[in-house]
Structure 1
Amino acid sequence: MLIMVSGLPGTGKSYFASRLSQRLGAVYINSDAVRRELGAMGKYTDEVKYTVYEEMFHRCKIALKAGKCVVADATFHKKKNREAFILWTRNNNIPIIILEVFASEEIIRKRLSKPRTYSEADWDVYLKLKDEREPFEVKHQKLESSSNNINFMLEKAHHIIEASHEYKAN
């Protein structure tokens, strides 16, 4: 099963996605970590972004073909950056769940004012990506992140995953 966790910078998507993958025993693939591994920190051209998503996609396919559950964590704010994942899972009969994490702008501003492990995004980046964001045209679930609701989010995600009748623990 592929679980795509989408959300703009500062929404708490990576905090949530990393904990969800731990809870599920899933492979965790994070776009910021991939960017760092590729030596692409500070480089945000469309070409570099595409390279990061391609590498994420490649890693997802390897893990999924091996029968693993995968949590893919990225903004996925552009249709072109998510459609390969969606099409490949459909064509290969791999279950997919898309979770979109959102938060109030007050919380996002506060989170983005502090240094984070991998992400270089700040408030200006958030505003740019918010403006560029293309809505999902496929079924997805939204999860609201607040200052202290990670356990609620994890429980809700777990119920969504279990309700899909496709999830098998690794």
Structure 2
Amino acid sequence: NTESDLANYIQLADKYTRPTRPALLITHGLSGSGKSWLTQALLEATGMIRLRSDVERKRLTGLAPLAPSDSAPGAGLYNAEFTQRTFTRLEDLARQVLRAGYVVVVDATFTKRSERKRFRQLAHSLAIPFRIIHCETDIEILYQRIRARQAEGRDASEAGLSVLELQLENQEPLDKNELNEAFIMDTTDSVDLSPIKLWLKNPNSPDAAS
């Protein structure tokens, strides 16, 4: 249930150095853009708590993170109704963890502006800083990474090439205001996390990212 999951997240975070103040970050990027890899590096470096949509979506049905749901793109666990349930769960978990005083990063594609607005409003309602981590790379690399991920079968994401095609057709890019609060991260090769780590030391700074 949500309470036990929350306790597990906080227990994990306590293994690291507890941040001095809460903040909320969300990722933005297509499947294969390096969101989960980048946020994994961040949580190991900073002790923030990560909430993954791929994991929480499956937990709603009792599936283990690596278990296949056998859902077609846009159907089953990925239809509009279940996606809304997933984001409601992510929002509820994020709210509780933030109130406990931790930094939270929500790892999802966030291709819809309404989804991003929902979490920005959550941060504002709690009077805490908010930022977007935008991950990008060349389209060819997206395809390569997705093929490799599917072949390995060791990740909670079930997004295949057909899902990527849908995202490319339907994504809502960051607008001007969102870009002003975004860290733009090129994940083609190694990624410099220092801008995010520096911001976390003073998240109330008006400067966003670079």
Equivalent of 2:40, from 18, 22, 33?
18
Residues 25 and 104, structure 2, Cα contact 8 Å, conserved in 1: yes
Alpha-carbon offset, residue 71 of structure 1:
1.1
Residues 26 and 131, structure 2, Cα contact 8 Å, conserved in 1: yes
Match of 1:66, as an amino acid? A
| SS of alignment partner, residue 82 of structure 1 | helix
Alpha-carbon offset, residue 164 of structure 1:
3.6
Alpha-carbon offset, residue 3 of structure 1:
1.3
Alpha-carbon offset, residue 160 of structure 1:
4.2
Say which one has the larger Rg: 2
Equivalent of 1:125, from 163, 167, 188?
163
Alpha-carbon offset, residue 67 of structure 1:
0.8
Equivalent of 1:48, from 68, 82, 87?
82
Q: Which runs of 4+ in 1 moved over 6 A?
A: none
**Range 154-163 or range 31-40, more displaced:** 154-163
Distance 1:16 1:141 in 2: 12
Alpha-carbon offset, residue 165 of structure 1:
4.4
Decide whether aligned partners of structure 1 residues 104 and 163 sit closer, same or farther in structure 2, where only a CA change above 3 A counts.
farther
Q: Structure 1 vs Structure 2: percent identity of aligned residues?
A: 25
Q: Structure 1: any 5+ residue segments left out of the alignment?
A: none
Matching of residues 54-133 of structure 1 within 5 Å: 54-114=88-148, 115=150, 116-133=154-171
Residues 21 and 28, structure 1, Cα contact 8 Å, conserved in 2: yes
Alpha-carbon offset, residue 163 of structure 1:
5.8
**TM-score (ref. length: structure 2):** 0.72
Alpha-carbon offset, residue 122 of structure 1:
1.3
**TM-score (ref. length: structure 1):** 0.88
| SS of alignment partner, residue 172 of structure 2 | coil
Match of 1:34, as an amino acid? E
Distance 2:131 2:167 in 1: 22
Distance 1:47 1:21 in 2: 30
Residues 79 and 134, structure 1, Cα contact 8 Å, conserved in 2: yes
Q: Deviations over 1:67-107 (max 9, x none)?
A: 11111100010012222210121122111111110111111
| SS of alignment partner, residue 21 of structure 1 | helix
* Aligned-CA RMSD value: 1.7
Q: Deviations over 1:13-45 (max 9, x none)?
A: 111112212211011100001012112732211
How many residue pairs were aligned? 163
Distance 2:204 2:119 in 1: 20
Distance 2:92 2:169 in 1: 28
